[in-house]
Amino acid sequence: MTKTFLASAAVAALMISPASAQDASTVLATVNGHDITLGHVIVAQSQLPQQYQTLPDDVLLQGILEQLVQQEVVASAAQDGMSGAMRIGLENEQRAYIAAMTLDEVSQGEIADADLQAEYDAQYADVEPVTEYNASHILVDSEDAAQALIEQLENGADFADLARENSTGPSGPNGGELGWFSEGMMVPPFEAAVTDLSVGEVSAPVQTRFGWHVIKLNETREQAAPTLDEVRDQLVEGLRQARVDEYIQNLTDAADVARPELDIDPALIRDVDLLNN
> Are 17 and 59 members of one domain?
yes
| Residue where a domain terminates, one of 204, 223, 242 | 223
- Supply the angle between the helices 143-154 and 159-166 in degrees, to the nearest 10: 150
> Are 67 and 145 members of one domain?
no
Asked if residue 242 belongs to a domain, the reply is: no
pLDDT of residue 20: 55
Give the residue from 214, 237, 97, 229 showing the smallest Cα distance to 158. Answer: 214
Asked if residue 115 belongs to a domain, the reply is: no
The DSSP-derived string for 173-221 is: GGTTEEEEEETTSS-HHHHHHHHHPPTT-BPPPEEETTEEEEEEEEEEE
Helical residues (DSSP H) of 213-277, grouped into ranges:
232-254
Asked if residue 73 belongs to a domain, the reply is: yes
The H or E element that residue 123 is part of is helix 113-124
| Residue where a domain terminates, one of 72, 107, 142 | 107
Torsion, Cα of 243, 246, 251, 256 (10° steps) = 160
Q: How far is CA 188 from CA 183, 184, 191, 203, 213, in A?
A: 9, 8, 5, 15, 13
pLDDT of residue 6: 44
Dist CA 162 CA 146 (whole Å): 11
> Are 85 and 168 members of one domain?
no
| Residue where a domain terminates, one of 74, 107, 140 | 107
* Total H helices, total E strands in the chain: 9, 6
Q: What does the pLDDT profile of the chain (277 residues) look like in tens digits?
A: 444 554 444 444 434 444 455 789 999 999 999 999 999 999 999 999 998 988 999 999 999 999 999 999 999 999 888 888 999 999 999 999 999 999 999 999 899 999 999 999 999 988 889 999 999 999 999 999 999 999 999 999 999 999 999 999 999 999 999 999 999 999 999 999 999 999 999 999 999 999 999 999 999 999 888 999 999 999 999 999 999 999 999 999 999 999 999 999 999 989 988 887 7
Asked if residue 260 belongs to a domain, the reply is: no
Asked if residue 136 belongs to a domain, the reply is: yes
Q: Strands 27-31 and 34-37: what pairing? A: antiparallel
Number of domains in the chain: 2
Q: In degrees rounded to 5, what are phi and psi of residue 220?
A: -130, 160
The range of the structural domain enclosing residue 199 comes to 130-223
Dist CA 52 CA 8 (whole Å): 14
Asked if residue 15 belongs to a domain, the reply is: yes
> Are 219 and 149 members of one domain?
yes
> Are 134 and 103 members of one domain?
no
| Number of other CB atoms surrounding residue 186 within 10 Å | 20
Give the residue from 24, 30, 29, 65 showing the smallest Cα distance to 44. Answer: 65
> Are 7 and 103 members of one domain?
yes
Asked if residue 10 belongs to a domain, the reply is: yes
> Are 7 and 93 members of one domain?
yes
| CATH number of the domain enclosing 139 | 3.10.50.40
Asked if residue 83 belongs to a domain, the reply is: yes
Give the residue from 176, 183, 181, 191 showing the smallest Cα distance to 137. Answer: 176
Q: In degrees rounded to 5, what are phi and psi of residue 70?
A: -60, -40
